[in-house]
Amino acid sequence: MREIVLASASPRRREILRMLGIPFRAEESGVEEGTTGDPLSCALALSQRKALAVAERAGKEEVVVGVDTIVALDGKVLGKPSGPQEAVEMLGKLSGRVHRVYSGLTVAYGGRLLSDYRCTEVRMRRISPEEIEAYVATGEPLDKAGAYAVQGRGAAFVEEIRGCFYNVVGLPVCALLELLAKVGWRFRI
């Protein structure tokens, strides 16, 4: 398998690629992650900007993957919390509710851009204020969109997931492999 270039600094995305045995190197895109508009359009646009930013520095024969994941409740984006207080507020809003996680993916290769997305619904159980405070105190939610890590302690709050689990972590594996196949990159177990 040929190495891909991951246009991301996300340790979770790197972890997923390592778990799958996909050879890669990671390069930060330097793209500002501001969001305006609907969550899906934002995720797609940001994934495209990230892939393009890194593709401009990479060789034309390199396969560059840009990804952006956005958590939304009632159509409103819940980004990474600015601090503990905002994390508490976000988790309070998510408590007992269903929200959506959108990931936009873009593959840049040979002057072409191919994009796709995934949307996953996540139902949170009711979370007590004490649980929220204790969770935020661990520091885990402070660098996560929506203020929780489904692959960490935040899993204790998740009642149901409809769709791709890895989308909620930050890299929808099946969507990624489908896009890579379209540019001739083949995954082998």
| 13 half-sphere exposure, CB direction, 13 A CA radius | 25
Does residue 94 form part of some domain? Answer: yes
Residue 187 located in a structural domain: no
pLDDT digits (tens, 9 = 90+) for 29-43: 988 877 678 999 999
Domain count, the chain: 1
pTM of the model as a whole: 0.93
Q: Is 68 a catalytic residue?
A: yes
Neighbours of 134 (CB within 10 A): 11
pLDDT computed for residue 66 by the predictor? 98
Q: Is residue 188 part of a domain?
A: no
CATH of the domain at 74: 3.90.950.10
Catalytic residue among 38, 68, 116, 143: 68
In the structure, what pLDDT confidence band is assigned to residue 78 with cuts at 50, 70 and 90?
very high
Is the pLDDT confidence value at 155 over 90? yes
Q: How far apart are CA 11 and CA 30, in angstroms?
A: 16
189 lies in a domain? no
> Domain range spanning residue 136?
4-182
